[in-house]
Structure formats: structure tokens, C-alpha cells
Structure 1
């Protein structure tokens, strides 16, 4: 596992988040200035984008990210990015943040998949920083932070060997594996299949200095080639015509990490879970598990329901009804939302037993709140200070 993956993940996911927020805030703009109270204006959009970029590229935050460390879990990553999204006057509902994180992850996953070689992962990151620099070009102080971070990223990663870059790519693939959220925009562009997996072409030019697949070479003990044997490669490949197009500052930069949300498709940036494979195997313990759950839960739903958030709410996606249903269902134990319906189980219990179970469950909830990942605590505290 590479210990230098975290900065690239934050930069790329932060860039994708700003693409989506900028597109959504522009779609909600109904006032050119602050003349209408309670309505998002162009100045509000610029302030939100500037505050988020300024927090992401602050010196103290980047100093912490650039330290060699293991990659965070999805739960911790989503917590830090939620705090980053709330660094300004905007507040997102939990359901909107869940979908925003899914869009960010799937867009970044596709970009990792289409990189022909590990070094191109740096191009994706540089393109995201270039785009964020354009978003805050009216705020010179924030633009300078982006420029300084760009310089530091170049210093750190330009000295990486091919083996280190390959290890970085493998770490990213492990982080992104088993995530198959369907995005309507990707489905329409034919880059994603209905099952949530990306449709990658099996043809095209190979990276510079890479042989076209289709030949097996055999060597003797002295390293001399003694025999060749062709094999079907399963695609039509060709050598890259312009070697310079794959360098860090060549034309290849304009084709990786593009903002697909710049197109006017606000209604198509929706996500949905891929349908699970049908399993007809009977679960003999299902009845016992439900009975046990009924005995444990009792009538604690009313006592354990979370309080409503009084902060300003911004519906990032047009799914108000679904978001309200998810809030009523309560937070899940992981960042992934369940793909099944909610079953309310009621059991008749005496008042003393229900009260005791509620007290025990309250202790569990308190312990869960106090048990945060040590990895994300420093970054969250740093964001609060910023």
C-alpha cells in the first residue's frame, strides 16, 4: 500500500465535488445579486466555491495531507469531505451528501480506469487543480493557495519511479473496488453498464514505450530472445503516434479529469444502486433473526429518533421525498445506503424492560459517537479552526 495516495484522493474528490456544486448552484441561481432575500445569487455561489477551495488548499491542511500515511476508509473520507463541503454558508442534507459522495467516487473511479499508465494519475490531479484555479480566479489569495499546492505536488510526485507510481495506482484500485453505483449521465454516455460497471474499450493506442500486446517472447538464461509466439490480444492496438502527448505537460492533460458536469444535464447527475444478484437460497435463520431483533428493539424507535437539524438545508438533488424517507429511517451504520426497504418491527414488552433496553442502547450510541477514526480527527479539528 502506498503512503502517498491520500493527497491525490482529496484533490481529485475535491475537484469533482466542486464541479457538481458549481453546476448545481448555477442551476439554482435566480438572482444576480443579493437583492432577493433567501434566494441563491451569483455572489453566494462564488463565496461557497471560494471558501471550499480556500479550506482545501490551506497550508496547514495540505501539510497534514502530505505526510506519509495510509489511505482513509470511505467512512472517514466522507466525514472529512462533508466538513469540507460545509466550510461555507451552504448546508447539505445527509441524503444529498451521500449522493454527492457517490458521484464524486464514481467519476474519479472512471478517470483512474481510463488512465493508460500510472503516471497519468498525476495528469488527472493537475487538471482538477487547473479547473479549481479557474473557479477562484476572482479571488487572488485563494488562487495563490492552489498555485502553491500545485508546486508542492509537483515536487513530491515528479521524483516517483515507475514502481512507486504503480503501487499508488494499485492502492487507488483497492480503495475504489466493489463500488458500482450507477450514474445516469454515465449510462447515457455509454461509459457505464446497467450493472454499474464501466465499459472500457479493448482497443486503441498503447502508452508511450509500451509494446503492443499480442506477442510472447521467450529468453534464455543469458537474456537473449530465442523465440516468439503470437497470441490473440482481444483488441486492436496501436503504438502512440505522439510520444509527447503522454508527458506531464503535453496535450494529454486536456483529456483526463474533464468536468463532465459542465454540460447542461442537471437532471442526469443522479445515482442509483445496481440491482443485486437474485439469490433464491432460503435463509433458515431469517425467522429467528427477526424474532431476536423484535425482542431487542421493542419500542425504542421513538426514544432513539434523532433530532431535526435546524441549520439551513440545500437540496442538492431533486429527491426531496427520498431524502425525507431516509432521514426518518435514521443514519445507517456505514456510508453506503441500504438497497432494501425499512421494516418496522413492533413487539409488546413491559415498560420496565423497554426502559432498560433504551438505556443500554443509549450507551451504545454514546460509545459509537465517541469512537471516531484517529486518522480523521486531526483534519476535522483543523477544518474547525480554519
Structure 2
């Protein structure tokens, strides 16, 4: 994720996005995204790349279609930068994400509502004939079989179309009314809208909790990752679920009559030594069985590695989850 994020935030890539220029065609957009995806150790074949591009494009189209106003369009973009900040672990990558966040706010906050809304409409016009069914949208009921979208009741609604004539020429930073609930443009502010968040998350569609103030040095931790790694360790047999003490050795016992330490019975000591030898033998046997098990598992992985590379599809795996 650090490699992908660093490639996406490459100055050359950003310069082509933030400079004033005509809208990119789909071929140029795909070329940029492919170079970003292929910069890491993960490699995708043409079929997987097509599916990934369809997923990104249709999610982008859905988010713009469901947006209720120009301010939400920018909040969606900031949700994407927030997600990048949560995924990366390198401190310099955190600083890059924060810099891009500031570039987005500086560029669009000085634009009028109507200008941002027109940019949104231009993007939708570019994607008008791009209709692909996406499994995750179909499963959530957000898309129909004919690839059209189902837009439900939004949790964040600017009602821009109703007040377009009144506020169209105002800047995004202008306060419309104090009673309105609007998302924050701050670095760690509450965006309110769920659009732009991880659609594969179980909490997608629910009202987001207010964001706590964080710093770039506070890297995020996911307790779910630790639980999954622990489960994987149990399945591979590298971690024991229950620990039992093999035996207990008491060298001193209390005599109720004399309240003094009694001597250890020689026969009892010999029994303890025999138990110790038996336990050591069992331990060596278990180690050998564990070694054989790992060698067998490694051999199976080597034999099936080619089949796994041919059959594994990352997007299908996400859909199954």
C-alpha cells in the first residue's frame, strides 16, 4: 500500500491532475491508473486489470451520481485521501497525503458552487456510455441488472438543485446558514457523507462517527489484522491454543506434626526423573512431527503455486468475502 500510494502521489502524476487542462480521455486515465497499480510487487494480468478498472470507474461514477451538491463532491475526494492516510505506514507517505489534502482544499475551496457542479457533470458526461455491472453494488442493492444506479435516501444532503439559483455563484468556503450541517474540509474533520468510504466495509452506509483529532505521526492500527494473523497462525499449527503444564514438582512439603521440611523420598525423585525423560521424548517426537508437517505443507504449496497464480482473482475474492 505504501508503494501504490507513493506512485499515486508522484509529482508528475499530480501535476497532470491539478493543472488547468481539458478533461482527460479514458485511455489517459487508464494509463495513469495502470502505472500506479503495477508499481508494487503485486502483478495483475489483463483480465484482472480490466475488472479492477471497471470497479474503479463504476464506483467513481456512482459516487458522483449520488452526490447531492458541489461541497459533497469535494468531501468524497477528501474521504479518499483519509483512506490513503489510514492505509499507509510510512511517515513520509503520511506527509504526502496531508500535502495533497491541502492542495485539494486550496484548489476547490476558491471555486464557485456552480463551477464544481459543472466539473461533476462533465465527468458524468464522459462516463455516460460506460455501464458495467459491479458485484458489490448489485449485492448492496445500489445497482440494477441494467447497470443503472439506485440512489437511496442520503445521510448527507445539500439540496443543491433546489437552491442552485441562490448559491450557485458563492464559493465553497462561504457559509450559507449556521443551521446547516455541512462536512468539514479540515485535515481530520468529519466529512459526514459515507460516499468515498470503503464500500467493502461492514459499516458502509451507516452514520460515521465523528473523527478524533490525530497527527501524522500517529499511525493507524487495525485490531482485525491481529485477529486474522492469530487465526492464520492457529491454522498453520505455529501456535498452541491451550497450554498445559506437563507435571508439577514439589520439593518441599509441610508436615502438620513437626511443621518442618521433610526429606524427599528417593523413589519419588526417581519417578520425577522418569517423567522428565518421557516428556523430553514426547517433545522431540512432537518437534519431528511438526517438522514433517511443515515440509509436507511447503511441498503442497510449491506444487500448487502455479495453479494458485492462474486461478486466484483478487476482486472475486473480495466479492466472496
Sort the TM-score into its range (normalised by shorter chain): 0.5 to 0.7
SS, match of residue 68 in structure 2: coil
Structure 1 counterpart of 2:38, from 74, 86, 89: 86
Q: Is the 8 A contact 1:53 1:142 kept in 2?
A: yes
In the TM superposition, what are the counterparts of 1:300-319 in structure 2 within 5 Å?
315-318=313-316
Instruction: Give the one of 82, 92, 117 matched to 2:69.
Output: 117
| Equivalent residues of 2:68, 2:160 under 8 A apart | no
Deviations 1:121-161 (Å, cap 9, x if unpaired)?
1000000000001101x200111111111111111111001
- Decide whether aligned partners of structure 1 residues 172 and 204 sit closer, same or farther in structure 2, where only a CA change above 3 A counts: same
Q: What is the distance in 2 between the residues matched to 1:123 and 1:258?
A: 10
Q: 1:257 aligns with which of 196, 201, 214?
A: 196
In the other structure, the counterpart of 2:92 is 141
Cα offset, 1:176, TM superposition: 1.9
Residues 135 and 210 of structure 1: CA distance in aligned 2, closer, same or farther (over 3 Å): same
Counterpart residue number, 2:106: 155
1:1-386 to 2 correspondences below 5 Å: 49-136=1-88, 138-201=89-152, 207=158, 211=162, 243-246=180-183, 248=185, 251-263=190-202, 315-318=313-316
Change (3 A) 1:202 1:263: closer
CA distance in 1 between partners of 2:155 and 2:100 (Å): 34
Whole-angstrom CA distance in 2 between matches of 1:55 and 1:199: 34
| Contact residue 93 and residue 315 of structure 1 kept, 8 A | no
Distance 1:99 1:159, change over 3 A: same
State the TM-score, normalizing by the size of structure 1.
0.46
Deviation sequence 1:70-107 (CA, Å, 0-9, x none):
22221221122111101111211011000000011111
Quote the Cα distance in structure 2 between the aligned partners of 1:157 and 1:84.
Answer: 24
CA distance in structure 2 between the aligned counterparts of 1:57 and 1:150, rounded to whole angstroms? 11
CA contact (8 A) 1:124 1:253 kept: no
Structure 1: give runs of 5+ residues left out of the alignment: 1-48, 214-239, 265-311, 320-386
Q: Which has the higher strand share?
A: 1
**Shift in Å, 1:251:** 4.3
Count of aligned positions: 197
Partner of 1:40: none
Q: Secondary structure at the match of 1:116?
A: coil
Cα RMSD of the aligned pairs, angstroms, is 3.0
Structure exhibiting the larger radius of gyration computed from Cα positions: 2
Offset at residue 246 of structure 1 (A): 4.6
**Whole-angstrom distance in 2 between the partners of 1:105 and 1:206:** 23
For residues 149-177 of structure 1, what are the alpha-carbon distances to aligned partners after superposition, in whole Å with 9 as ceiling and x for unaligned? 11111111110012211221111111221
Q: List runs of 5+ in structure 2 lacking aligned partners.
A: 165-176, 204-308
Q: Normalised by the size of structure 2, how large is the TM-score?
A: 0.55
Whether the 8 Å CA contact 1:52–1:88 is kept in 2: the answer is yes
Whole-angstrom distance in 2 between the partners of 1:165 and 1:174: 14
Is the Cα–Cα contact under 8 Å of residues 59 and 145 in structure 1 kept in the other structure? no
Q: Determine which structure has greater relative contact order: mean sequence separation of CA pairs < 8 Å that are 6+ residues apart, divided by chain length.
A: 1
